[in-house]
Amino acid sequence: MKRPSDHPPVAAPRVGVMLVNLGTPQAPTASAVRTYLAEFLSDRRVVEIPRAVWLPILHGIILRTRPAKSAHAYAQVWTKDGSPLAAITQAQAQDLQVRMGDGVMVDWAMRYGAPSIPDVLARMKAAGCERILVAPLYPQYSGATTASVIDRLGEGLGAMRWQPAIRTLPPYYDDPAHVEALRADLSAQLQALAFVPQVLLLSFHGMPERTLNLGDPYHCQCRKTARLLSEALAGEFPGLKVETSFQSRFGRAKWLEPSTEDTLARLAHEGVGRVAIAAPGFSADCVETLEELAIRGREVFEEVGGKDYAVLECLNAGADGMGMLEALVRRELMGWV
């Protein structure tokens, strides 16, 4: 009788981790931004207006006017490594690869544009990954972001004869490891500022208000991250007031309130001269933090009389954020590695 030890060792199936973020144009030009926005804003998860109404508006108005304006914003934040969002997501994947070692393949994809989720899925399977953890890098769940990543993953899987086994990383907005990473990272940045802020404004990306009424948990998850973070910072910064707002309003519908712009203007108007702003809903700095908050937000604040203004960096590929991501990924891979 053959005992198990008589068999040659069977190679363990290779496990993959795919980090996913939103996507970004390939260049800071109106034409590249148009291509990107056309894909992004055609997603039914992002714009829920009936197609017959929305598509003529998208193609007839938005894609004729917005790309030039957005390209100007992208041009102000573009780096030698390309779009900040893509460069940082790649750096996160490279750092996580070192942390996970050779037994796990780490790669990254974008929901819109390149590298696409189906392409990366096929590449990982071809490299021998029979089990893949897909990690949307959105701490708070929303239909427009997290669910859309999983929809696209389904499209990729739908094109495969031999699919890998899949797990997905749940939202981590209230995970103690996430709150602690934000606390440690922001605390170091606050201590390093040249001024002592009176208010720390936590600015999250907005969503149409109706998504909240329809049951999307995004708003509640943002509020909970903000509360936990505010409680975590209170010990070290007892005099710091923490407020929450929502940025990046798009379209005519009512969005989540209060808006970041209005809040900055109100604070300055009330005589609050020193404000720091952080964006704990973004895992990587991008046009929304580097241009909208750091450039336009400052203009709004200073116009109404605000004096000191600083935008703190996102977790990016820093040690606090990467330690947290490694811990979350290792937890989800249990039984696989």
Asked if residue 226 lies in contact with residue 242, where contact means CB atoms within 8 angstroms, the answer is yes
**Contact partner at residue 286 from ligand L6N33NVT, Fe ion, none, CB < 5 to 8 Å by partner kind:** ligand L6N33NVT
Binding residue per annotation — 205? yes
The distance of closest approach from Cβ of residue 239 to Fe ion in the complex, given in angstroms and rounded to an integer, is 31
Side chain identity at residue 118, one-letter code: P
| Binding to Fe ion in span 266-295, by CB under 5 A | 288, 292
| Alpha-carbon torsion, ordered 312, 316, 319, 323, to 10 deg | 120
The neighbour count for residue 329, using CB atoms within 10 Å, is 20
With binding defined as CB under 5 A, does residue 248 bind Fe ion?
Answer: yes
- Would you count residue 187 as binding Fe ion (CB under 5 A)? no
In the complex with Fe ion, the residue whose CB is nearer, 26 or 248, is 248
Count the site residues for Fe ion by CB under 5 A: 3
Nearer to ligand L6N33NVT, 16 or 113 (CB): 113
Least Å distance, CB 289 to ligand L6N33NVT, is: 8
Q: What are phi and psi of 169, to 5 degrees?
A: -75, 125
Is 76 among the residues that bind Fe ion (CB under 5 A)?
Answer: no
Residue numbers of the site for ligand L6N33NVT (CB under 6 A)? 22, 24, 46, 66, 70, 83, 85, 138, 142, 144-145, 205, 207-208, 218, 248, 250, 281-282, 286-288
Distances in Å between the Cα of 311 and the Cα atoms of 186, 219, 294, 297, 336 are 11, 22, 6, 9, 39
For 161, the enclosing helix (H) or strand (E) is: none
Q: Please choose, from the candidates 172, 177, 133, the residue with its C-alpha nearest in 3D space to the C-alpha of residue 322.
A: 177
- Note whether 259 binds Fe ion by CB under 5 A: no
Least CB distance to Fe ion at residue 122 (A): 27
The 10 Å Cβ neighbour count of residue 47 is 22
Are 230 and 222 contacting, i.e. CB atoms less than 8 angstroms apart?
Answer: no
Binding residues for Fe ion (CB under 5 A): 248, 288, 292
Binding-site positions for Fe(2+): 205, 288
